[in-house]
Structure 1
Amino acid sequence: MATLCSGCSNTYFDTIQVYLRDDAAATKFLKLHGVLPNDVQCPNCKLPCTYRASKHSWYCGRWKKIAKTKRSKQCPYTRSDYKGTFLEGTHLKPSQVISFVNHWLHKQWNHHTVIKILNFAPTTSVDWRSFCAEVTERWLENQEPIGGEGIEVEIDETLFIKRGRFTKQLWVFGGIERLTKKCFLVPLLNKDRSARTLVPIIKKFIKPGSVVYSDSWRAYKQLCDQGYSHFVINHKDHFVDPNNPKVHTQNIERLWLDLKQWSKRPGIRQKFYKQYLARYIFLHTYEEEKVLHHFFVEAARVYPPSGVPATSSTSSPEQSTSSTQASTSSA
């Protein structure tokens, strides 16, 4: 079994230079990250198969004697290198897949660049954006809660407004650790910001014992009864408590500012906002040089090369949650 990558570093331009036209290097990269199998066992002979790089496939081809005869027959087993993986069903080259993901993980992502540089059809670009979005959505669903005993967390909700012929509103609720900047974001598609909606989200994404800072929104009043230390700043009077400078929500406010700068581009539909937020948090969590590595590690977890689907469960944020394939409609 080949050794898997323990954490490579690739800048945006490094990836272009190394993998844009080199399928051999791209295939090696995908195998090192567990996206493609490093070996395959023939289910008939129970022995390793041979890899055919030119066809991206595995085959057995062993000759076995036929019982009670002098004849032999060749094992016909063969399978695509892509079977059950993130690349299953695609006609794209490995170099094209890595180049697409590399650009999708960039802040200035756009379809026109992909279509022009990688020679993609518009529908192919839309489809692959959805495949990438599913990986980051699954990653988001598997995140452990933030905070913990004595760890400071700021929470808040903000309103996104899309102006156009019809003005659209979307409330987003989130939290951020002050020290590590780990965060979570949840779109409130029903626009309900009551305690009935927000408290279960807080309990799901923030560990008990956390020190929570918020504004004076009434939905947060019962947090002390839910196992949290809760401090409130009334923004009508101050943005930082003059008696206790630690009581503020400036980190989450900065997060909102950054997120809204990202969301200025037109065309983001409300039903795709979970995809959008998952991508944002993914890029916010990892260093720029590490983000490609972590994406393909997660892609291998969601689509294991064995072809066996990842275990799904909705019982806790630590466990994988099954999700429907993201729509391929343009967002």
Structure 2
Amino acid sequence: MYISWSKSPHILVHNYPLLLVLLALNMLLREFYLNVRSSEETATNFLRQHNLLDVVEDAANCHRCGSAMQENRRRDRGGEFRPILRCPRKGCQTTRSVRNGNTFFHYNDLNGRINSKLLLVQILELIFLFLLDIPIDSVVSLTGRSNATVIDWFNMCREVCSSMVSYTRNGRLTGTHEDPVQIDEARFAGGRKYGRGRMLQGDASAESEESDDDIHNNRNHGRRIDGPWVFGLRNINETRYFYVARRDAETLLPIIQREVEMGSVIHSDEWPAYRR
């Protein structure tokens, strides 16, 4: 599923920022730890690239003197540098967290100051391990986070995944040659379509690229490559998601017929189920 789908401002789900993170973190393990998890600065840059944190040019001016804020760094107690915003005006020098403006990544303490128990890299790591379907006790061992913290974040991720396929929709999507309805499907964990991306040892590919017939693998929790799936439809105004167990024509075509206006232009990746 294309990450750009997640930027629709009209998707009506609980905790929209976390949904964007879930989609944006659809990457390889090595890619995540090299490009996102390596430092607080790389995590900040990643979130800014996906419009989840303001870049300095879009940040609100200093609340004390009204000057434009500038990018700076501050060393935390652990010796790691954290990006911050600082007022350049002499005699002011007010600082502000880069998390300001997105309450998903912080809370305000009793003094009104922005605070958080976890670094951005730690938050993203928990979400990424959720996407990999790593058991909670293993995540506790791997990250050093408490059992309660891991459970809280995993529960939030589950709520978002559930919310995005259950919100009420009004009317049908319309697609034109200039703005077609785009359709695609993806999994949040396990291998991905066409063999691209991560595939865990023991996972098995479907016997046919045109069906999701039952297959057996070396794991005790059932199939991974053949579902479950999240099927998405998008036009310029709205994105809709549906939880499906299979991606065959019998499952997907009724959704398309129900959700898309007759005669609309639809773009897909030529998955065989769409051509029937």
- Into which bin does the TM-score normalised by the smaller protein fall? 0.3 to 0.5
TM-score by structure 2 length? 0.43
Larger Rg: 1
- Ranked by relative contact order (alpha carbons within 8 Å, sequence separation 6 or more), the top structure is 1
